[in-house]
Amino acid sequence: MDLQLTGKVAVITGGSKGIGLGIARAFAREGAHVVITARTEAAVTRAAQAIADEFGVTAVPVASDVSTAEGCQAIIDAAAGIGGADIFVSNAGTGSNETVAEAPDDKWMDFWNLHVMAAVRLSRGLADQMEAKGGGAMLMNASICAVQPLWYEPIYNTTKAALLMFGKCLSTEMIKRGIRVNTVNPGLIRTPDWENTARELKGDDWQSYLQEVADEHADIKRFGTTEELADFCVFLCSPRASYSVGSAYHVDGGMLKTV
């Protein structure tokens, strides 16, 4: 299937590893140019060069902290520098571990800025570029935890739920400007962060630990790959999904236990 993405410009935050890198590679495979961002300059530069070398597209690295207004503006400027964004995937984020009783205010605000305000600022800034090009698509990468929380990460659960609601509110506003907005809620996706956590907890038996997690939570009894999730995300941002507006899609191997 031709996803009609050749020559488009896709901006992906958190694009140097894991889900973000998988999404960036999937866009590049379809002929789209990419702007990828991360806080570590060496990592994001290395990832962008590898994408450009493999797929023959323009891949622009931006080392910036999306939890700040200045970091977001650097990304907006980088996208403008290669003709303006057609697609924006708000992906940057990380898990948490705390109790409500003990978590300090600063931790709440750090996650709010990373998961929510980054999406707000970048959506606002990139929308003008998309509208000038005749429209586009935005995708919020939230989490199954936005609707089915895990007890040990209340801050992550809450901020991802806010991102889910933001995506819905944004979609109503942006469709009037020719920009489609949707949200994806991944379940267990095998990323370097999951693998590192498993190694810290179980040492050499880390793969057995991941299987135990999958057996407990996912009906499919395995983790999803970044490629599986990326393929879905890229389709959703393509003109082939032109009637998908303001929806939330669970890509979770049966993890969600409600209708």
Residues assigned a catalytic role: 156
DSSP line for 143-159: -GGGTS--TT-HHHHHH
2 HSE (CA, 13 A, CB side): 3
Outline where 82-117 has alpha helix (H): 105-112
Angle between helices 18-29 and 226-237 (to 10 degrees): 50
95 HSE (CA, 13 A, CB side): 18
- What is the rounded distance in angstroms from the CA atom of residue 157 to the CA atom of residue 70? 26
Q: Is 226 helix (H, G, I), strand (E, B) or coil?
A: helix
DSSP line for 6-57: TT-EEEESSTTSHHHHHHHHHHHHTT-EEEEEES-HHHHHHHHHHHHHHH-S
- What is the rounded distance in angstroms from the CA atom of residue 22 to the CA atom of residue 39? 17
Residues 6+ apart with CB under 8 A from 208: 202
Q: Are 234 and 170 in contact (CB under 8 A)?
A: no
Q: What is the number of residues in the chain?
A: 259
